[in-house]
C-alpha cells in the first residue's frame, strides 16, 4: 500500500500529514514548532512523530508554506538591487533603496527602441554588490523580446555572482513596472526559498524516502520542485492556497469561504464550484501589485503570534510577529524571572519598547549594518535581553528604529505578548507556560487598569473583529474598512449575514468561533483535522500549467522590405482601407511565446508552430513536475482579433494552453 506525505511550514507551526493513496483518507497527522531561521529542525520534528511504517511507503511528497508571504508582510526579505530598462516613470514609492534606470527597451513588436546601456548596468552592479543578496531586472516589452533583460542578467551574474531574476521569466502580461515589482519580490525570496526546499530534500534523503517532490503554488495548483526554486514568487501564497484546497476537501464543500488563522497572518479566500477564485490582476501582497496568478484572497498581519502591545489607553495587535511569552518561557529557562523584573518608563512606550518585549539574536549573518545598528546588535545574544538591558549596556537610550531595522533584516527576533498568550490566560489554549502568559497580561493590564483576564478578553476580541473584518472585506470588495468596522461594532442597528458556509482552519481556531458568530450571522464550521488543513491541501492540489502565445500580424511595404529589421514599418491596423489591405503591402507574422519570438511569412505556418510549441511547453512542464503523461489533459482556446467584415488573416491570434495533471493522491480523493 502506498501513502503520500503533505508538509506545511507556517510562521509558527510545521504540519505533517500522511494520506492513504487508495482512498485519500488522512491516516496520521502531527504538528511541531517551525524553527527560525532554519526550518529543517521543525520539519524533522514534525516527521519524527509520524509512524515509520507509513514513511517507508511514501511515493509523493507535496509542500506548502507561508514563509514567503510572511517575509513580505513583515518586510524582512533579503536586500535586492532593482534594474529597470527603458523610460520608466518612477512612482514615489519603490520597494528598495538600491535601484537604477538605464536606457534600452523594445516596442510592442519586440523591436529595439534604444541601445541597452550596459555601462550603467555594470557601474550600478559594482556599487551595490556588497549591499544586496540578489538582483531583479525588468525591461520595456520584455514579454515581447527579452534580449535586454537576458543581457543584463549575464553581465550582472558575471560581475557579482548573485542571483538575477528577469521579469519575463515570471510573467508574459503587460506592465513593465508590475513585472519589475514581481521580479524584485522573487529575488528577495530566493535565499529563503532555497534554504527551505534544500532542507526538505536533505531530510527526505536522510530518511531514505525516494518520492516525487511537489510544491503548491499560489493558484492552488502544484509545481515541480525545480520550478519552485527558480520562481519562489509563484509560491508566495502557497500556504493560503493549500488551506483553501484543504478546507474544501475536509468539509466536503465545493463552495465555501475559508478563514485560516495562522501564527503570523489571517487569510481569507473562497472556493466556488470546486475551483479557487483567482485574482484577475495578480496577487497583491504587502501593498505591492504583482503579475503572479494567485487565488483571490484577503490577508492581514493578524495571527496567533502577532505582537499585542499598549500605547496610551489602547491595545494594538500586530503587525509584527513575535515569540509568545508562554513559548519563550519553555525555551529559555530563566525567562520568566527576567520578565517579572522588567520595567520600562511610561513615556517610552512604542511597539519596540514594552514591559513584555525582549530580543534575541538569530543565526542570520549581517550583510550591511549602520553604526547604530552594529552597536545594538553586539549587545544582543542568544539569551533574551530587554530594552532596559540595552539601556544599561549602551549607557544611552537605544533607537527603536534601529531595533526595528535589525528585526526587518532578520538579525534579531522579538519576544512579546500575543493572542496565543491571551488564550493561555483564558484557559482556552494551554500548550505552553500559562504562568508566563499571565505575568505578561498582568503587566500590560496594569497600565490600562485591567485584570489579566479583562486584558486578555479585549485582546481576543480585537483579533476576532480583525478576522471578521477580513472576511467581509473579501466578500464585499470595495467596502471601506471603517464602514465594515461600524457594522461589526453594532452601530446603525445592522449586522452582516453570509449565505455560504465559512470553514475555519488553524490550531486554536475553535476559541474564536463564538466571538465570530456574535459578530456575523454565518455558518462557521471547524472540520476534523482543521489544525493541519493546509498540509492536507498541499496533497490534493492539481498540477496546472497555463501558457499564452500571441501571433501578431504586421505589414511591411514591398518597396521597403529591406528596412524591416530597422523597425521602419507600419502596423497592419494602420493599413486597413474599408476591410481590405493595400495591395503593395506584405504580411509578416510574429509569434510571441515564453520561448522568445519567431517570424513567419505564412500565417498557417505561424499557427502550426504556435500550436505545437504551446502543447510541448505545457507537457514538458508537467512531466518535469513529476506528473505522468496519461494523467495530463491539455485544452486550447483561440481568440482572433479582426475588424467587422474582415476577410484576411486575423490582426492578432491569442492561443491559451491550459494543462491539468492529477498527482497520484489527488486522483483518489
* Nearest residue to 177 via CA among 229, 136, 140, 123: 140
pLDDT of residue 13: 80
In three-state secondary structure terms, 617 is helix
Predicted TM-score (pTM) of the model is 0.68
pLDDT at residue 201, rounded to an integer: 83
User: Does the pLDDT of residue 579 top 50, yes or no?
Assistant: no
DSSP string, 58-114: EEEEEEEESHHHHHHHTT-PPPEEEEEES-----S--S-S-EEEES--B-TTS-BSS
Chain segment 332-344, per-residue pLDDT in tens: 989 999 999 988 7
Are the beta carbons of 390 and 398 closer than 8 angstroms? yes
**Helix/strand/coil for 476:** coil
* Contact criterion met (CB below 8 Å) for 237 and 84: no
pLDDT confidence of residue 416: 95
Distances (CA, A) of 115 to 566, 577, 607: 12, 35, 31
Cα 251 off chain centre by:
25
Contacts of 438 (CB under 8 A, 6+ apart): 424, 425, 452
Please say if the pLDDT value at position 583 is more than 50. no
> How big is the chain, counted in residues?
669
What local confidence, expressed as pLDDT, does residue 66 receive?
67
Average pLDDT over residues 212-241: 71
Question: So what's the pLDDT on residue 600?
Answer: 94
Better-predicted residue by pLDDT, 13 or 235 = 13
Q: pLDDT tens, 276-287?
A: 888 776 666 556
Please work out, in degrees rounded to the nearest 5, the angle formed at the alpha carbon of residue 477 by the alpha carbons of 476 and 483: 65
- The Cα 278–Cα 294 span in angstroms is 6
* pLDDT per position as a tens digit, 79-121: 889 999 988 777 667 778 889 999 999 888 888 889 999 999 9
How far are the Cα atoms of 486, 519, 611 from residue 490, in angstroms, in the given order? 7, 8, 58
User: How far is residue 215's CA from residue 163's CA, in Å, rounded to a whole number?
Assistant: 21
What's the pLDDT band for 289 if we cut at 50, 70, 90? low
Return d(Cα 180, Cα 203) in angstroms, integer. Answer: 35
Question: Residue 286: what pLDDT?
Answer: 58
* Amino acid 116: pLDDT: 94
Rounded CA Rg of the chain:
27
User: 33 CB contacts (<8 Å, ≥6 apart)?
Assistant: 12, 13, 14, 42, 45, 327
Dihedral sign for Cα 443, 444, 449, 452, please: negative
Residue 427 has pLDDT above 80, yes or no: yes
Cell numbers linked to 382: 542568544
- Which range (160-164, 402-406, 495-499, 629-633) has the least confidence? 629-633
pLDDT single digits (tens) 516-567: 999 999 999 999 888 888 788 777 766 677 788 999 988 776 544 433 323 3
What local confidence, expressed as pLDDT, does residue 234 receive?
Answer: 66
pLDDT at residue number 580 = 44
Dist CA 254 CA 238 (whole Å)? 19
Distances (CA, A) of 240 to 267, 299, 370: 6, 9, 36
Peptide bond between residue 72 and the one before it cis (omega within 30 degrees of 0) = no
Scan for cell 528596412, then name that residue.
Answer: 563
Q: Which whole number is the average pLDDT over 120-129?
A: 94
Residue 232's pLDDT band (boundaries 50, 70, 90)? low
Confidence of residue 513 (pLDDT cuts 50, 70, 90): very high
Q: What is the 3-state secondary structure (H, E, C) of 93-105?
A: CCCCCCEEEECCC
Lowest average pLDDT, out of 34-38, 56-60, 147-151, 372-376, goes to 34-38
Cis peptide leading into 399, omega within 30 of 0? no
What is the structure's pLDDT at 93?
72
Amino acid at each position: 500500500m502506498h501513502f503520500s506525505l503533505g508538509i506545511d511550514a507556517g510562521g509558527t507551526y510545521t504540519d505533517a500529514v500522511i494520506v492513504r493513496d487508495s482512498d485519500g483518507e488522512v491516516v496520521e497527522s502531527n504538528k511541531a514548532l517551525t524553527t527560525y531561521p532554519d526550518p529543517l529542525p521543525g520539519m524533522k520534528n514534525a516527521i519524527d512523530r509520524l509512524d515509520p511504517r507509513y514513511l517507508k511507503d511514501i511515493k509523493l511528497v507535496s509542500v506548502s508554506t507561508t514563509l514567503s508571504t510572511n517575509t513580505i508582510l513583515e518586510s524582512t526579505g533579503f536586500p535586492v538591487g532593482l534594474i529597470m530598462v527603458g523610460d520608466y516613470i518612477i512612482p514615489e514609492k519603490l520597494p528598495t533603496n538600491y535601484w537604477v534606470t538605464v536606457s534600452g527597451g523594445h516596442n510592442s513588436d519586440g523591436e529595439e527602441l534604444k541601445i541597452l546601456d550596459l555601462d550603467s548596468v555594470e557601474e550600478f552592479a559594482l556599487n551595490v554588490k556588497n549591499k544586496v543578496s540578489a538582483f531583479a531586472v525588468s525591461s520595456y516589452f520584455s514579454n515581447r523580446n527579452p534580449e535586454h533583460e537576458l543581457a543584463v542578467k549575464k553581465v550582472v551574474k558575471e560581475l557579482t555572482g548573485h542571483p538575477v531574476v528577469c521579469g519575463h521569466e515570471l510573467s508574459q502580461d503587460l506592465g513593465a513596472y508590475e513585472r519589475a515589482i514581481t521580479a524584485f519580490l522573487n529575488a528577495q525570496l530566493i535565499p529563503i526559498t532555497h534554504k527551505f526546499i534544500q532542507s526538505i530534500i536533505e531530510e527526505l534523503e536522510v530518511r531514505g524516502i525516494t518520492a516525487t517532490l511537489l510544491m503548491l503554488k499560489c493558484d492552488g495548483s502544484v509545481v515541480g520542485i525545480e520550478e519552485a526554486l527558480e520562481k519562489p514568487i509563484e509560491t508566495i501564497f502557497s500556504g493560503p492556497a493549500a488551506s483553501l484546497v484543504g478546507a474544501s476537501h475536509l468539509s466536503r464543500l465545493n463552495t465555501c469561504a475559508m478563514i485560516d488563522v495562522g501564527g503570523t497572518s489571517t487569510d481569507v479566500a473562497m472556493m466556488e464550484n470546486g475551483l479557487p477564485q483567482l485574482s484577475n490582476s495578480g496577487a497583491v501582497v504587502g501593498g505591492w501589485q504583482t503579475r503572479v496568478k494567485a487565488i483571490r484572497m484577503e490577508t492581514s498581519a493578524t495571527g496567533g503570534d502577532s505582537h499585542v502591545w499598549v500605547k496610551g489607553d489602547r491595545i494594538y495587535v500586530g503587525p509584527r510577529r513575535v515569540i509568545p511569552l508562554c513559548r519563550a518561557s519553555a525555551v529559555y529557562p530563566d525567562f520568566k524571572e527576567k520578565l517579572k523584573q522588567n520595567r520600562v518608563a511610561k513615556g517610552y512606550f512604542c511597539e519596540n519598547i514594552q514591559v513584555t518585549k525582549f530580543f534575541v539574536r538569530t543565526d542570520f549573518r549581517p550583510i550591511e549594518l549602520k553604526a547604530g545598528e552594529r552597536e545594538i546588535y553586539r549587545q544582543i545574544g542568544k539569551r533574551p535581553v530587554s530594552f532596559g538591558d540595552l539601556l544599561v549596556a549602551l549607557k544611552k537610550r537605544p533607537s527603536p528604529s534601529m531595533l526595528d531595522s535589525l528585526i526587518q533584516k532578520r538579525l534579531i527576533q522579538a519576544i512579546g505578548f500575543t493572542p496565543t498568550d491571551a488564550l493561555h490566560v483564558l484557559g482556552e489554549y494551554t500548550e505552553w507556560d500559562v504562568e508566563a502568559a499571565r505575568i505578561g497580561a498582568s503587566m500590560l493590564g496594569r497600565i490600562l487598569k485591567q485584570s489579566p483576564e479583562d486584558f486578555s478578553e479585549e485582546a481576543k476580541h480585537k483579533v476576532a473583529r480583525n478576522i471578521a473584518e477580513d472576511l467581509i472585506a473579501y466578500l464585499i470588495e470595495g467596502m471601506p474598512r471603517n464602514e465594515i468596522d461600524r457594522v461589526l461594532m453594532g452601530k446603525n442597528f445592522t449586522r452582516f449575514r453570509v449565505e455560504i458556509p465559512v470553514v475555519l482552519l488553524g490550531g486554536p481556531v475553535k476559541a474564536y468561533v463564538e466571538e465570530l458568530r456574535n459578530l456575523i450571522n454565518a455558518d462557521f464550521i471547524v472540520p476534523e483535522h482543521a489544525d493541519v488543513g493546509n498540509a492536507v491541501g498541499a496533497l490534493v492540489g492539481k498540477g496546472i500549467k497555463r501558457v499564452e502565445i500571441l501571433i501578431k500580424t504586421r505589414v511591411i511595404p514591398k518597396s521597403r522590405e529591406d528596412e524591416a529589421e530597422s523597425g521602419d514599418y507600419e502596423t497592419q491596423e494602420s493599413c486597413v482601407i474599408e476591410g481590405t489591405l493595400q495591395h503593395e503591402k506584405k504580411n509578416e507574422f510574429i509569434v510571441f511565446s515564453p520561448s522568445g519570438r519567431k517570424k513567419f511569412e505564412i500565417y498557417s505556418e505561424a499557427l502550426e508552430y504556435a500550436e505545437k510549441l504551446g502543447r510541448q511547453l505545457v507537457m514538458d512542464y508537467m512531466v518535469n513536475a513529476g506528473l505522468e503523461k496519461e494523467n495530463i489533459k491539455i485544452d486550447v482556446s483561440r481568440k482572433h482579433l479582426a475588424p467587422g467584415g474582415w476577410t484576411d488573416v486575423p490582426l492578432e491570434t491569442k492561443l491559451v494552453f491550459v494543462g491539468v495533471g492529477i498527482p497520484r493522491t489527488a486522483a483518489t480523493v
